[in-house]
Structure 1
Amino acid sequence: MGFIDQTDAGKWKAFWREPSGTQRSKTFRTKKEASTFLAQVELSKSSGIYVSPHAGKALFGPHAEEWMKSWNTERTTMARDESIMRTHVLPKWSAWQLGKIDHLSVQTWLSELGEGRSRATVAEAKRLLSGVMRSAVNNRLIGSDPTAGARIPKRRERDTDERLLTREEVRQQLLPAIQPARYRALVACGAFAGLRWGEAAGLCVDAVDVDAGLIHVIRTVTEVAGHVEFKPFPKSRAGRRSVPIPGWLVDDLREHIREHDQGMNGLIFTNEVGGPLRRTLFRSRVWRIALVRAGLLGEVSEVDGKWEAVWKTADGEVDAEVFSKYDQAVRMVARSEFGGVRFHDLRDMFGTWLADDGVPPHKIAVVMGHENVATTYQHYIRKTDDHDAVRRSMGDE
């Protein structure tokens, strides 16, 4: 049991022993305050929820480092989380005492972070902060998690958000603009088979059944810090699947396999030296440039024998510059225009097209590799506007 003693200065000091046996003390103005505190300490000890009043003085940074050492996630996930922790979480909270982090401070931080970052980034930052604080609770460093109930700012639609293309736009505008042409079948696999980047970039000859018109998703490639490697299984158990593809894509893949040498493990889509593709390089050297050429990103037009590049910045400002060569203008727009269609958006389009065609959600979930059909609804199925169908439903023929 603890006890109370009066100090020479006339104040009152409460003494108690922690479950570990360490003696602690705390000074109060009055005897009543000391008695109340001591009663609370004894109650928390007997209930098994005791948290030392001194434990909250530990700094967030060192505890976060210890928590990160306990991770047993995959290499790609770990690299992503380390980047978010280093870029967004530690700069704000590293020097804070764990006990000083409160709900208001957390909510203010999330709101400020949401002003310049995507909602997905803010959600990941909150997840990591919550992980550290829950660890602190479990280790009796603090009594409660201040991130509980903190809200992530809602996503605001912008005119620079990605477009949902039609099948015709992809086939007639985007695919012809892909250069070198050897990558057109890769892009087609994203749009017309719903493959994730790693699944499409890791596609090997043994996974394509041209006779049956099927792509078997059995492996993927991952990229961490510029290093690309094979992973002999897809993103999840449901990710291992077979996807039917249209006849024209079967023909394109057959022709691609016949005309191009395969890389390691029979890799179909390779870089110039036969190695696996790097997503970051493909985005800057092939994808973004193709979007500009296809008229899907910024604008390049001929003016008095020269080429004017026009693009919009993240702030919504419009910039322009004139170049002597078309390719120079295209590269400027590809590098400077904010937003635009992403490779992963092709997968979103695939799911949306299937939904618009009336394919049942549970079947869409299977070909897209979703473990839960709710994911199909929440993240991928964004039905396109069908004003004629609405008019028909209202009796307007």
Structure 2
Amino acid sequence: MTELSARRSPATVAECFRLLSAVLRSAVRDRLIGTNPCEGVKVPARRRKDTDGHVLSRADLVARLLPAVPDRYRALVALAGGTGLRWGECTGLRWESLDLTRKTVEVVRVAVEVAGTVTSKPYPKSRAGRRTVPVPDFAVELLTAHREVFPAGPRGEVFTNSSSGPLRRTLFRARVWRPSLVRAGLLGNVSRLGHFKWRAAWLDLDGVEWTAEFTTEREAVAHVAKMAPGGLRFHDLRHSYATELVSRGVPVNDVQGVMGHEKPSTTLNLYTHRSDGRDQRIREAFADDPLTPNDD
């Protein structure tokens, strides 16, 4: 376990441990071994990183990020940001599960990627994951346009790559997602210096600014996307969605339902974030309280 921890993330180690322990428990029940050697073993806890929990406001999603995403993938980003669906739930979505008239999406399957191969799984990660989620108007509009321009996949998939094949997460991140962040002004900076002259700028992990010059904007954007550390993750669209709902006063049990969580504590612990104006609202809640208690 220690050796694996040196090469893999705590979340990956925990999942490997869970699967191994389940296999060994079965072996104990079948009397193949006397005891489960996993019992009593502690796995490393997942530590929060500075890149965890980035929040993108709904205004920045619509006005900044979506216009910067290539046409083929704009509806995908809109769906994720407007419904909180996970990557696999978005890429595994088929048109039969979308009702653009009623403005709803049914999450009934997911796309699973292992070693570069994408397959479809008929059920989400948990029973609560099978759910119906309302789709906001801006996402409905982009999905409607997407259906008219881009053909469905061989099994009716809503989103495919340029070869009508399944989307692969790593390639999407490098070729679509991070360049879109740069163009949206959410990662580094690209500015025009003159004819055939573009300046790329980004900060490293120590806060030191680096710059480079290129003859095309595309080259400058690609360089920043590759070199700049951190930045918004695709999964942060899900985090932002839940945060937006909670900050607008949507009850936690309703947020839990659309997020596909089995427990409300998961919703509160993972996907909520300090919202703008929190301190002022708390002060206002006690603004009319008397300084001394009534004698009544």
Instruction: Check conservation: 1:162, 1:339, Cα contact below 8 A.
Output: no
Cα distance in 2, alignment partners of residues 143 and 206 from structure 1:
46
Matched residue, 1:282: 172
Residue type matched to 2:219 in 1?
Q
Using CA pairs under 8 Å that are at least 6 residues apart, name the structure with larger relative contact order, 1 or 2.
2
User: What's the C-alpha RMSD, in Å, of the aligned pairs?
Assistant: 3.0
Q: Does 1:393 align with 2:281?
A: no
Q: 2:246 aligns with which of 352, 355, 363?
A: 355
Partner amino acid, structure 1, of 2:201: V
In the alignment, structure 2 segments of 5+ residues that lack a partner are: 289-296
| Partner in structure 2 of residue 176 of structure 1 | 67
Q: Give 1:193 deviation, angstroms.
A: 0.7
1:298 CA drift (Å): 1.2
Q: Where does 1:49-68 land on structure 2 (aligned, <5 Å)?
A: none
Q: Which of these residues, 339, 355, 362, is aligned with residue 230 of structure 2?
A: 339
In the alignment, what sits opposite 2:109? 219
TM-score by length of 1: 0.63
Aligned with 2:209 (options 318, 335, 344): 318
Letter in 1 for 2:245: L
1:31-180 correspondence to structure 2 within 5 Å: 89-90=3-4, 121-125=9-13, 128=16, 147-148=41-42, 152=45, 154-155=47-48, 158=50, 163-179=54-70
- The answer (yes or no) to whether the contact 1:162–1:340 under 8 Å persists in 2 is no
| Map 1:374-385 → 2, pairs under 5 A | 374-385=265-276
Q: Check the 8 A contact 2:89/2:109 in 1, yes or no.
A: yes
DSSP 3-state at the match of 2:13: helix
> Does the CA-based 8 Å contact 1:89-1:125 persist in structure 2?
no
Name the counterpart of 2:131.
241
Which secondary structure does the structure 2 equivalent of 1:265 belong to? coil
Deviations 1:112-157 (A, max 9, x none): x5xxx9xx9235436656987996xx85799996744x764854x6
- Higher-Rg structure is 1
Report the CA distance shift for 1:127/1:217 in structure 2 as closer, same or farther (over 3 A). closer
Matched positions, count: 279
Instruction: Quote the offset at 1:253 in angstroms.
Output: 1.5
Asked whether the 8 Å contact 2:11–2:46 carries over to 1, the reply is no
Tell me how far 1:272 sits from its aligned partner: 1.0
1:53 corresponds to: none
- Structure 2 distance, partners of 1:144, 1:206, is 43
Task: Tell whether the 8 Å contact from 2:198 to 2:213 is kept in structure 1 after alignment.
Answer: yes
The offset of 1:388, in angstroms, is 3.7
- Alpha-carbon separation, structure 2, partners of 1:279 and 1:388: 40
CA distance in 1, matches of 2:238, 2:164: 26
Structure-to-structure mapping, 1:173-212, within 5 angstroms: 173-179=64-70, 181-212=71-102
TM superposition score normalised by structure 2: 0.83
CA offsets 1:65-88 (integer angstroms, 9 cap, x no match): xxxxxxxxxxxxxxxxxxxx7xx7
How far apart, in 2, do the equivalents of 1:192 and 1:354 lie?
11
| Same amino acid, percent of matched pairs | 41
Deviations 1:307-340 (A, max 9, x none): 2212233454432211121111110110111111
